[in-house]
Amino acid sequence: MRFVSFGPRGNERPGVLIGEDSILPLSRVMADIGIAPDGTVRNLLPFLDRVREGVSVAVDRGDEVVPVAQTRLGPPIADPPNLFNCGANYLSHVAELGAAVAPTLPVIFQKPSSALGGPTDPIVRPLECVNFDYEAELVVVIGKAGRRIPAERAAEHIAGFMITNDVSARDLGEGESKKFNTPALFQLMRIKGWDSFQPTGPWLVTLDEAPSYEDIRIQTWVNDELRQDEYAKGMLHTPYEIIEWLSATTTLQPGDIITTGTPRGVAAGMKPPRWLVPGDVVRIEMTGLGQMNTPVIDEQGARVGAGEGSDG
């Protein structure tokens, strides 16, 4: 199944993609199988077999569908309990940013849910930012709760895969860390946590229909110029190892979003860097998971002047 959330921002409804261009709303299916019909895609993840049967019944009886072209697609998981991001998980990316060594353990941080957006929603460059960057990443969505999940059992806890862009304001991280020569004062939230900095979609592909993660090709274009092109098998830590590491700390919940890092080709790795600017369009495609097309716009309001991009 390919789950979608569709409709106005903040009021998205759950659905499944039928064919390539129609959405079957799931409210009636949810009622039929004993799930609250006002729920979200997250509420369906622990019951995929029942949902699959309900969808088959709905298609056979001719339930009304909504053309994809006539609605907005929101983030497939619009209300995740947690939004976990994994950084520095491809050797190619670590190398392009000049790091001398690669991490030996997964590097995990969190974002607020307000960062989420749909697959065609704009990504918004903050007033304070000049060094605006993209990071195409494969997403794992948790379907079954668990803690201390061993890597060899992790697939049992995965609902499916989808695409994301871990948008970054590269110039807003130093804060006071440079002033006091203290890495602990590095402002990761200021790089990663702004509204619109985690577009996802276009749909969540359940694990039974998704390719093996190793076979997923990650490609990013900026204005039709190919920037990133690598298979997910290039990860330093597999999705299953990330789940094992993360679940040792916290109980994972259905609907949790876990990103898995980006390969080389980001703007910061180019010489000179080629930052995103308003008017650019970022297109990300992954094998079997569809594509996202997100325009870049500026935050509304006066931009800062000669010191533009300074964080204080």
What integer pLDDT is reported at residue 183 of this predicted model?
A: 80
Strands 136-142 and 158-165: antiparallel
Encoding tokens for residue 241? 């190892």
How far from 41 is each of 27, 77, 122, 132, CA to CA, in Å?
10, 6, 23, 31
Give all domains of the chain, ordered by start, each with its CATH number: 2-70 (no CATH), 83-298 (3.90.850.10)
Mean pLDDT by 10 residues, the chain (312 residues): 97 96 97 95 97 97 97 98 97 91 93 98 97 98 98 98 98 86 87 98 97 98 98 98 98 98 98 97 98 96 42 36
Q: Are 93 and 126 in contact (CB under 8 A)?
A: no
* CA end-to-end distance (rounded Å), the chain: 47
pLDDT of residue 301: 59
Predicted pLDDT of residue 48: 97
pTM for the predicted model, two decimal places: 0.94
According to the model, what pLDDT value does residue 102 have? 87
The pLDDT score that the predictor gives to residue 305 is: 40
**How many H helices and E strands in the chain?**
7, 18
**Cβ atoms of 197 and 184 closer than 8 Å:** no
The residue with tokens 């876990």 is: 258
C-alpha dihedral (153, 156, 160, 163), degrees to nearest 10: -20
Half-sphere exposure of 261 (CA within 13 A, CB side): 30
Predicted pLDDT of residue 16: 98
Q: Where are the beta strands (DSSP E) in the chain?
A: 2-6, 13-18, 22-25, 66-67, 83-87, 107-110, 116-117, 123-125, 132-133, 136-142, 158-165, 168-169, 198-206, 217-222, 225-231, 257-259, 281-286, 290-298
- Measured distance CA(76)–CA(117) in Å, rounded: 9
Q: Are 44 and 112 in contact (CB under 8 A)?
A: no
Half-sphere exposure of 249 (CA within 13 A, CB side): 9
Predicted local confidence at residue 278, as pLDDT: 97
To the nearest 5 percent, what fractions of the chain are helix, strand and coil? 25, 30, 45
